[in-house]
Amino acid sequence: MSKYSVEELTPKRVVEELNRFIIGQDEAKKAVAVALRNRWRRSKIEDDFLRKEITPRNILMSGPTGVGKTEIARRLAEISNAPFLKVEATKFTEVGYVGRDVESMIKDLVKHAVNEKKRIETEIVYKKAESVAVDKILDMLNIPNPEKLSKDEEGYEEKYKRQSDYRKKMADKLENGKLDDKKVSVPIKPSAPIPVFEIVSGSGGIEEIDSMIKDMMSNIFPPNAPQQKGKKEKTMPVSEAFEYILQTEAEKMLDHEKIVREALEWVENDGIIFIDEIDKIIASGSSHGPDVSREGVQRDILPIVEGCIVNTKYGPVRTDHILFIAAGAFHMNSPEDLIPELQGRFPIKARLLSLTKKDFVRILTDTENSLPVQYAELMKSEKVTLNFTPSGIEEIAGIAFEENSTTQDIGARRLQSVMEILLEDISFNASEKGGSKIKIDKAYVNKWYKSARENEKLSNYII
């Protein structure tokens, strides 16, 4: 959950939050911050007709790999507590070709939203479900239940107090795991038999067919469908029985219709879809073969971005106000090579720049949970202390920048490669070096770098 309310997420605040994780790229950060704020502004318009007419200002980001395109979109969704989905344009194919249908992106987003809403609602009912599960386990263990005593029974008050104290004592034991190994018989409702289908296909669309079959079966045999008559019992340890009953009771308490309804509204009003590698579906100029399919994918994506109704297993979803952020490296082409209609649906263009050595230094020092922090914490678990000095950080940044300049530019991902080989021996031997302190300074990095070059190990890690 975001620590800010929707009203508090001003463009400046959004950029400040993004700055915690992403270095530079101010143009793209401002673009997504304004797009997010416009959603809130739209919600404040009282005229229903006018509010429906205002659509999101979709964003097209271009720039080398590893400079923050995906991270900006992902962090934006996290900050705004919005349902988020990343897809790769190359996974889709034109209607009539074998592959994933573009509508699957909406179906996947809805599925994610439903699961997230269900998770949140389950957390809300968990305490109540735990109480029910405790009572059922105690009953299975034949622990007297004072609530079942008759008030007309002789010595009712004394028996009630005695049984209450004993039941509470056993409930505490159950909570502390002291009854986990005891066995109980748990009633298990037999589920309806599901027909098994085997589909033999060599096509790339097998996962789509599999999804369709599962959806069809869930409609024929929904989770809440009447079960077969009769109950079966299964003997299991108390620990397993408690978890089974807890999940079953929590599921009973959920309002599934409400969950689905809220999830659909959440997607329609707050959903964010990040379409990566959009430059890969630009035709190279020929008018036949795969280029036809590439342009076809663009035309199939167009109505989704323009705004249409997509039928999902949970119900119809309007895409009019979902925010779409597309991105690509555009090494061999440019955003202007997209079909004009699709270009028009991404009115905000943001160019992300290649990272400099100075950017790498800031990524290693100024971002929250930076790589040095991550590696230091990993080694701390082995009681090994890593100390990254400013000179060491500067040298690591310099190596990463040099490798990006002389080989393929993979942006900030280069830092991960460099750090991994730098700390390979330390990580391998850490279990035997508990209590040691290692200083990662310029001298250490240079010594490692020279050794790695001589042994030609660097090429195994630096792509």
Provide the pLDDT for residue 209. 55
Asked which of 144-158, 239-253, 280-294, 386-400 is least confident by mean pLDDT, the reply is 280-294
Provide the pLDDT for residue 228. 47
Provide the pLDDT for residue 217. 56
Q: Residue 351 in 3-state DSSP?
A: strand
**238 forms bridges with which residues in the sheet?**
none
**Residue 295 in contact with residue 339, Cβ under 8 Å?**
yes
Provide the pLDDT for residue 454. 63
Q: Which residues of 231-263 are buried (b: 16+ CB within 10 A; e: fewer)?
A: eeeeebebeebbeebbebbbeeebeeeebbebb
Of 128-137, 193-202, 451-460, where does the model show the most confidence? 128-137
**Residue 442 in contact with residue 391, Cβ under 8 Å?**
yes
Backbone angles phi, psi at 67, to 5 degrees: -105, 0
Provide the pLDDT for residue 372. 94
Tens digit of pLDDT for each residue in 152-172?
A: 878 888 888 888 899 899 999
Quick check: 215 pLDDT over 90?
Answer: no
Confidence bin at 185 (pLDDT 50/70/90): confident
Tens digit of pLDDT for each residue in 19-47?
A: 999 998 999 999 999 998 988 898 888 88
Q: Residue 44 in 3-state DSSP?
A: coil
HEC string for 135-181: HHHHHHCCCCCHHHCCCCCCCHHHHHHHHHHHHHHHHHHHHCCCCCC
For residues 196 and 158, the model is more confident at 158
Topology adopted by domain 357-453: Helicase, Ruva Protein; domain 3 (1.10.8)
For range 438-451, the mean pLDDT? 85
User: ∠ CA(314), CA(108), CA(325), 5° rounding?
Assistant: 125
Segment (H or E) for 202: none
Mean pLDDT of the chain: 84
**84 forms bridges with which residues in the sheet?**
272
Tens digit of pLDDT for each residue in 48-106?
A: 888 888 888 899 999 988 899 999 999 999 998 999 999 999 888 665 455 578 899 99
What residue ranges of the chain are covered by domains with CATH 1.10.8.60? 357-453
What residue ranges of the chain are covered by domains with CATH 3.40.50.300? 11-112+264-351
According to DSSP, the β-strands at 232-237 and 183-188 are: antiparallel
Topology adopted by domain 11-112+264-351: Rossmann fold (3.40.50)
Report the C-alpha gap between 401 and 409 in whole angstroms: 9
Quick check: 186 pLDDT over 60?
Answer: yes
Quick check: 148 pLDDT over 90?
Answer: no
Quick check: 460 pLDDT over 60?
Answer: no
Report the C-alpha gap between 252 and 93 in whole angstroms: 41
Report the C-alpha gap between 36 and 11 in whole angstroms: 8
Confidence bin at 198 (pLDDT 50/70/90): very low
Tens digit of pLDDT for each residue in 250-263?
A: 999 999 999 999 99
For range 6-27, the mean pLDDT? 90
